[in-house]
Amino acid sequence: MIENENKMPLLGDEFPKLSVQTTHGPLNLPEDMKGKWFVLFSHPADFTPVCTTEFVAFQKRYDEFEELGCQLVGLSVDQVFSHIKWTQWIKENLDVEIKFPIIAANDSVASALGMLHPHKGSNTVRAVFVVDPEGMVRLVLYYPQEVGRNIDEILRAVKALQVSDEKGVAMSANWPNNELLKDELIIPPATDEATAEERMNSGTCYDWWFCHKPND
């Protein structure tokens, strides 16, 4: 078994236990999120243009994440007072109220999550962790400081993970708008000859290893 030498969480790992201060008060992760999904995302710094557009975009989709039972949590190495002043600026100047908590991380917290990359300066990179109700890391994304995230893709990924867990299926590229399958779901490949032959006669397979079904 290969050990994770960097100590940063990988897919299938338990999210690291962290006690942090946020704009909504103290938060213990993942314990305080037990039973719900959450998306933790870091940004390089408050009062920066790209990060501001991201926070507005996350907030614009806040209700959609809430409908999925998914909490948003922001993070950077800025102090809480900076987060508070920045979110006040966003409300006053852009008429958007940031409703999710923002963590004021120290270097040890940022390092535990692999958010400090030596060649990208002292700020946290744009990391995204999607964590399930059991506290397990299900998706990890990293973006450089100069590229803003596609928030719709993060929302899509949470939806896809939830459907996959519920129905034991996989999702196609660009689901639910795939060029071949549209919103249909991919059935796991057959693991024996009888099932493979049965599926070939079902009319819902391109081949025995490539079968699909309606999303209903």
Helices and strands in the chain: count of H runs, count of E runs: 6, 10
Verdict on whether the full-model pTM lies above 0.95: no
* Predicted local distance difference test score (pLDDT) of residue 123: 57
Estimate to the nearest angstrom the gap between the alpha carbon of 97 and the chain centroid: 21
Active site residue 70: no
User: Element (H or E) spanning 71, and its range?
Assistant: strand 70-76
**pLDDT for residue 124:** 63
CATH for 18-150, options being 3.40.30.10, 3.40.50.150, 3.30.470.20, 3.30.1490.20: 3.40.30.10
Per-residue model confidence (pLDDT) at position 4: 42
The CATH fold of domain 168-216: Antioxidant, Horf6; Chain A, domain 2 (3.30.1020)
pLDDT in tens, the chain (216 residues): 344 444 678 899 999 999 999 999 999 999 999 999 999 999 888 999 999 999 999 999 999 999 999 999 999 888 999 999 999 999 999 999 999 999 998 766 766 777 655 555 555 678 899 999 999 999 999 888 889 999 999 999 999 999 999 999 999 999 999 999 999 999 988 888 888 888 877 668 898 899 999 998
> What is residue 126's predicted lDDT score, i.e. its pLDDT?
83
Task: Please give the structure tokens belonging to residue 84.
Answer: 């508070």
pLDDT score of 115: 65
> What string of H, E and C letters represents the secondary structure of 20-68?
EEECCEEEEECHHHCCCEEEEEECCCCCCHHHHHHHHHHHHCHHHHHHC
Residue 98's Cβ-side half-sphere holds a number of Cα atoms within 13 Å equal to 29
Amino acid at 12: G
Hey, where are the domains in the chain?
Answer: 18-150, 168-216
